[in-house]
Structure 1
Amino acid sequence: MSTSIDLGRPVAGDVVDLILDDHRRFETLLRDLRDSSADRDAVRRAFSALHVAHALAEETHVYPRLQKRGAVGEHEAEHGEEEHAEGHEALLAVLELKGTDTQAFDDAVEELATAVNHHLTEEELTILNPARDEVSDRERAELGRTFAEARNAAIDDDCGAVDNVRRIVAEARGEGLLDEEPEEG
């Protein structure tokens, strides 16, 4: 995806720090989505790319490794995946709206912010804190390189495209991570 919005392009670092850097980017992008003077269309595309790439890298590499090391349990990893799915579902609602200057857009952004902010708080408390305490610096650095590589490759592959987000949400419903039918409203 080409965007003028800087999503960062880390290549190495402690995985906890890299994840936290993305969390701060999410917060900034959510602020920009609420700003009526911003290029909200560009911001939602950037948010989508980062959200999908970040979740994919965590679910594919970070959560399984932390489980293997006993830093987090199966419940925490599964809950993180459920919350990613909820974020993707809220993101899809934002992406599918035609305009960015409507009450419907503002409402969809509020739903997205609620889902994402809830996840950021829980993940920082229940996954990142145990990772800091129970995984060695060396292993967090190795995992950081793997996370960054997967995240950046997904962004390069346009993972945040609306059709891909639709596919991800449909798969999450099929796996029971989301309600079968989206809520009306």
Structure 2
Amino acid sequence: MPATTATKTTDVVELILRDHRRMEELFRAMRNVQADRAGALQEFAALLVAHAEAEESEVYPALRRFKNVDDEDVEHSVHEHQEGNEALLALLEVEDTGSEEWDEKLEELVTAVNHHADEEERTLLNDARENVPDERRAELGAAFEEARGRHLAADCGSVENVRRLVEGSSH
């Protein structure tokens, strides 16, 4: 089913995939020395945190209730969100976007997030497509969008908030 950019979907699987593709675009911008790397990182940080928090509060608990969705995949995804937050914090703390340290921390972030997105797409999202009815995926999508928007409005990608998330989960 071809989708145009004007198509508004609330299917949670499609919304999550849309965020994953936007993150890939932002990675390309952050790798480009002529781009606004700091601006791309700000957008990326907010998107990554809002996306992960919305998945954990709205999507993952619901997916656990479907018998053909693997609980271990859900737990693994939560763990990978934490790894993503840790890699994000390390990059946010680099002051010079033109430095070698920036490039190194960026690649660590790219590796962590791309690994997670790839696994999530092959496991949880495929399971959701197969086992969760369309109406339920639409309800989850609406809840995901609402939670994601709330986090974005709260400046969830700030270095202070990412630091709180990383410190809060290490206890």
Match of 1:40 in 2: 37
Root-mean-square deviation (CA, aligned residues, Å) is 1.3
Aligned counterpart for 1:22 among listed residues 4, 19, 23:
19
Q: Deviations over 1:20-64 (max 9, x none)?
A: 000000100111110001111111111000000000000011011
2:147 is aligned with 1:150: yes
Pairwise CA distance, 1:70: 2.3
Pairwise CA distance, 1:11: 7.8
Whole-Å Cα distance in 2 between the matches of residues 49 and 167 of structure 1?
Answer: 14
2:50 is aligned with 1:56: no
Pairwise CA distance, 1:74: 2.2
Q: Deviations over 1:52-92 (max 9, x none)?
A: 00000000110110111224232111100110000000000
Instruction: Name the TM-score, length of structure 2 as normaliser.
Output: 0.93
Of all paired residues, the percent bearing the same amino acid is 51
Match of 1:103 in 2: 100
Pairwise CA distance, 1:12: 5.3
Provide the aligned length of Structure 1 versus Structure 2.
Answer: 165
Query: Gapped runs of 5+ residues in structure 1?
Result: 1-9, 175-185
Whole-Å Cα distance in 2 between the matches of residues 144 and 47 of structure 1?
Answer: 20
Whole-Å Cα distance in 1 between the matches of residues 122 and 87 of structure 2?
Answer: 22
Classify the secondary structure of the residue corresponding to 1:25: helix
Whole-Å Cα distance in 1 between the matches of residues 105 and 8 of structure 2?
Answer: 33
Whole-Å Cα distance in 2 between the matches of residues 172 and 37 of structure 1?
Answer: 36
Letter in 2 for 1:122: E
**Stretches of 4+ aligned residues off by more than 4 angstroms:** none
Letter in 1 for 2:162: V
Instruction: Name the TM-score, length of structure 1 as normaliser.
Output: 0.86
Whole-Å Cα distance in 1 between the matches of residues 34 and 68 of structure 2?
Answer: 43
Match of 1:89 in 2: 86
Classify the secondary structure of the residue corresponding to 1:38: coil
Query: Gapped runs of 5+ residues in structure 2?
Result: 1-6
